[in-house]
Chains A and B, each alone.
Chain A
Amino acid sequence: MATVTIDGIKVTVPDGSTILAAAQEAGIRIPTLCHHPDQAIKANCRICVCEVEGQRLLAAACAMPVWDGMVVKTRSPKVIEARKTILELILARHPQDCLNCIRNGVCELQDLAAEYMIRENPFTLKIKGYPKDTSTPSIVREQDKCINCRRCIGACSEIQTVHALGVEKRGYEAMVVPAMGGQLSDSPCVVCGQCIHACPVGAIYENEQIDEFLAAVADPDKVVVTQIAPAVRVAIAELVGMNTGELDMEVFVAGLRQLGFDYVLHTNFTADLTIIEEGHELLQRLTEGKGKLPMFTSCSPGWINFCETFYPDLLDHLSTCKSPQQMFGALVKTYWAEKMGIDPAKIYSVSIMPCTAKKFEAARPEMNASGYRDVDLVLTTREVGRLFQMAGLDFTKLQPSKFDSWMGKYTGAGVIFGATGGVMEAALRTVYEVVTKQTLEDVNFTAVRGMEGIKEAEVDLNGTKVRVAVGHSLGSARKLMDQVRAGESPYHFIEIMACPGGCIGGGGQPLTKSNRKRAERIDCIYVEDAGLPLRKSHENPEIKTLYEEFLHEPLGHKSHELLHTHYHPQHKKYF
């Protein structure tokens, strides 16, 4: 342990702690820009500099380890002068565009400019003047707003191992850019959106499609139907002034009706459906030798992009099940339209997703099994949060409203799709009962829960031992895939989610700088699951109706037509 004096306050912290951590212990927040709690130290913005007694140079608090007896000043005149000057330097290269910016009000640079009272900048404004990169359907890059902190590179390279972003040129022309300085679509980017969470400013963000939504609800000829993904409710609370998980589901539904949706349905319903289809597919591969093992889940479109880009030789291992979003899209304009007596041509299907990759997935040319584009528009949790802001809704006063019928009921198994390990747990709940024909007494498979990168479990299915693994973040996926490629994978079934923590940490979720927030959302997901009367997908009454009246059997003809898909290798220009 080391005892350090920070602005006159003595704290004792573990050896090797940084000044930043020690100051936090002392109750002092040192400003940061390049620092990210889940990434390696960068020490490139220098905004965190502090004065250390006996040292000529200022120390970067995020990188400098403390020593016993160290005396630090975090706001001496020398420090304030340095921070203000560095801020002025950064701001003089930054568009003065806050009013038009997607990060207005949620921007670390804007906050710092306010905190340090930057009024008149002595340096002349010099903007690079690059066009926006809108080459993907999911992610927009605004080069001019980039402050070169490299946090996006940390997310993309360290956590996702995609390496889509890098640094080009030197000196004041140095820039963080997609591979080879090209467009994002030419890079191996899988549009997972993790760089958005990492970015302190408005330099990378989701392709915002609010206008398309507003036009649809304004059109009297359109029946606007929505589906809500499992991870959305717990997190959207954070955007309407509540704590994580605090927004009641039916109050949320009421809010969505206020926005103009004609019907509110749930992706949890097709999550349950996915379990039935994928569970039977697994059994087929296990018992009939049809298809490759280990089988991978296929509900995370960022993961599918990753597999198609980096592991095109292993595509046969992917479950052929579409993601719950696309299963929903295919059914809403067939089964549901028929049941409701609505002309499918009039249905405008909007999904509310925690995910930027879902925008890409919905736009895939093969996703038109219904005869129309299955999902017309994907809005992220953040976009819907902004719509709620615009609508001026007070969620403490809204009266609860029920989901609409036929694709709105769900079980706890559907709910936990939102967390890493959830698909696996939901599948095991169903597969166990299908195989053993016995009731599963304890539905909680806790071994596959939590934030550890790769989790494993073994389940006994009537004497057959099934080994499963769960990986979240593409760095974990890469490890599991390399095992498979080397012929050394001990598993039968592997769940992979592209984003850390699973969908609750998706690229479209409320901005989260640390995994601690993700863990909190996961807890809320399991609380919701535990509180539901039905917790196994095959017990969902609307699922039963769907099979009785429409699909007839899992993996049947209709299922193949509407609910299953195929994969293609993706070839990128710079990969």
Chain B
Amino acid sequence: MAEELRIVLRNCGVIDPLKIEDYINAGGYKALEKARNMGQLPVIDEVKKSNLRGRGGAGFNAGQKWTFVYQASADQKYVICNADEGEPGTYKDRIIMESDPHRLLEGMAICAYAVGADKGYIYCRGEYPYVVDILRQAIAQAKDKGVLGDFDIEVRMGAGAYVCGEETALIESIEGKRGEPRYKPPYPGVSGLWGKPTVVNNVETFANVPDIIEKGADWFKSIGAPSYPGTKIFTLSGDVVNRTFFEVPTNTTIRDIIFGLGGGIPGGKKFKAVQIGGNSGAIIPESLLDTPADFDSMAKVGATLGSGAVFVMDETRDIVDVATRTAKFFEHESCGKCAPCREGTMRIHEIMEKINQGKGKAGDMNLLERLGRVMSVSCLCGLGQAAPVPILTTMKHFRADYNAKVKE
């Protein structure tokens, strides 16, 4: 039976987020002090050794990313926290920021020290104005106390575009330009904000850092799945009894999350499918529920961990209709910069609507498959690459549902 293990959310509901003293009394800002005594490279090595991987979706080794920025020679470097949290059904970053904002600031400050940056930005989802207030208060308190040293953090508010969560679009947006992704390479670690080496990490990634520095890489590595150690926060929604959030070790299975902590399906109904990682996540059936939720195990079965949103669907849900809605989402959220996504998201939605209304033909399924295949390898950024995932996975796992709607 799955149990919660709170590292990132340790102080959640325990301390007053608006009182820096509470955070300090709970042991806060000690890790930052320790890091400064360790030296830059040892801090990076420790984070690298811990194998902390990005919690924003791509799962890149955080210490590795910091190394690039550390090694780059530049007169100015930046640390950016990605708090755009645009993935539907995800609110883990909000919980961290509103319940324990100093943990994020401390994680960023450790990173800034390690890579040699003196300026940081938190790019916060536009729908979270009260979180922006909390963050600004926390920053003011930390400055008053002098804990951040010469590291300056500014909070920027997003304008509501999902694509602005993509790290290079986010950077463009901070620069005051149209929020569109850049081609990569060069990666932000080499050429980021204003062309300078920049670390971009997710809120949850930064929030893990103080404990890693304090307790060591070996301690962190011993938790959860070896290839993606530590914990992960999941946010449950849809047809599940406990629609709330849980922080669990990463080797917890999806079944445990839904049926253990989540309390199973309400109303005595049967489970049908689950979509993990938000709208860009795979929609998977019962047979894959024993997969551990870590990044690599999920990838192996053609699913995604993504942001950790868990959307549960019971037997009454119309899977084709759900997939059609994700298609509409991506049509709406495509930034329009690259041809396969600009045109492809619109076409996927167009064809899905047709199928969903019972007007589809057998050829439409082949076309969708081809289009999805092409988009997932050709689009400029992760949005277009992931847009076909819900379609392709439902066509694979729930073919009968499609066949029931398609003519011929």
Contact = CB atoms under 8 A, between A and B. Distances in A.
A173 B183 contact: no
Interface string B318-345: 0000000000000111111111101111
Given A56-B377, A65-B185, A167-B178, A147 B335 contact: no
B380 A85 contact: no
A471 to B, nearest CB: 26
Given A81-B374, A89-B343, A92-B343, A43 B380 contact: yes
A41 B186 CA distance: 12
A148 B347 contact: no
A339 interface: no
A171 interface: yes
Interface string B364-406: 0001001101100111100001000000000000000000000
A171 B336 contact: yes
Interface in B106-144: none
A75 to B, nearest CB: 15
B161 interface: yes
A40 to B, nearest CB: 11
Contact of B380 (A44, A169, A174): A44
A47 interface: yes
A82 interface: yes
Interface string A23-49: 000000000000000000111111101
B335 A82 contact: no
B269 to A, nearest CB: 36
A173 B352 CA distance: 19
B346 interface: yes
B338 A45 contact: yes
Given A167-B178, A171-B331, A57 B377 contact: yes
Contact of B342 (A65, A82, A85, A172): A172
Given A44-B339, A47-B339, A148-B339, A58 B333 contact: no
B340 A86 contact: yes
A397 interface: no
A373 B136 CA distance: 66
A550 interface: no
Contacts of B331: 171-172
Given A147-B339, A171-B345, A172-B336, A85 B379 contact: no
A169 B377 contact: no
B377 A82 contact: yes
A90 B161 CA distance: 24
Nearest to A45: B339
Contacts of A123: 347
A174 B347 contact: no
B374 A172 contact: no
A122 interface: yes
B334 A172 contact: yes
B183 A60 contact: yes
A78 interface: yes
A465 interface: no
A171 B333 contact: yes
B385 A57 contact: yes
Given A63-B183, A82-B378, A148-B342, A122 B335 contact: no
A85 B337 contact: no
A169 to B, nearest CB: 7
B336 A148 contact: yes
A171 B339 contact: no
B343 A174 contact: no
B345 A172 contact: yes
A560 interface: no
Contact of A89 (B183, B332, B340, B380): B340
A81 B363 CA distance: 17
A174 B336 contact: yes
Nearest to A167: B178
A47 B370 CA distance: 16
B152 to A, nearest CB: 31
Contacts of A44: 337-339, 380
Interface in A155-175: 167, 169-174
Contacts of A85: 340, 370-371, 374
B346 A46 contact: no
A222 interface: no
A10 interface: no
A478 interface: no
Given A170-B335, A174-B337, A81 B343 contact: no
Interface in A269-303: none
A324 to B, nearest CB: 41
Interface string A383-409: 000000000000000000000000000
Interface in A53-94: 56-58, 60, 63-65, 78, 81-82, 85-86, 89-90, 92-93
Q: Which of A60, A65, A123, A173 has the most B CB atoms < 10 Å from its CB?
A: A123
Contacts of A89: 339-340, 343-344, 347
A366 B383 CA distance: 54
B339 A46 contact: yes
Contacts of B374: 81-82, 85-86
A64 B385 CA distance: 17
A93 B380 contact: no
Contacts of B334: 170-172
A85 B339 CA distance: 10
A44 to B, nearest CB: 5
Contacts of B335: 170-171, 174
A172 B331 CA distance: 7
B378 A49 contact: yes
Nearest to A89: B343
Contact of B378 (A46, A90, A147, A171): A46
Contacts of A41: 183
Contacts of A122: 363, 367
A509 to B, nearest CB: 29
A41 B378 CA distance: 17
A60 B183 CA distance: 9
A516 to B, nearest CB: 25
Interface in B140-189: 161, 178, 183, 185
Q: Which of B332, B339, B340 has the most A CB atoms < 10 Å from its CB?
A: B339
B336 A170 contact: yes
B380 A46 contact: yes
A86 B339 contact: yes
B183 A58 contact: no
A167 B378 contact: no
Interface in B252-307: none
A46 B338 contact: yes
A573 to B, nearest CB: 21
B170 to A, nearest CB: 16
A58 B338 contact: no
5 contacts: A49-B377, A60-B183, A89-B340, A169-B336, A170-B161
Interface of B: 161, 178, 183, 185, 331-340, 342-347, 350, 363, 367, 370-371, 373-374, 377-380, 385
Given A46-B339, A82-B377, A148-B342, 5 more contacts: A46-B378, A86-B339, A123-B347, A170-B334, A174-B337
What 9 pairs across the A-B complex have the smallest Cβ distances? A174-B336, A89-B343, A172-B346, A43-B183, A171-B334, A85-B374, A63-B183, A58-B377, A82-B374
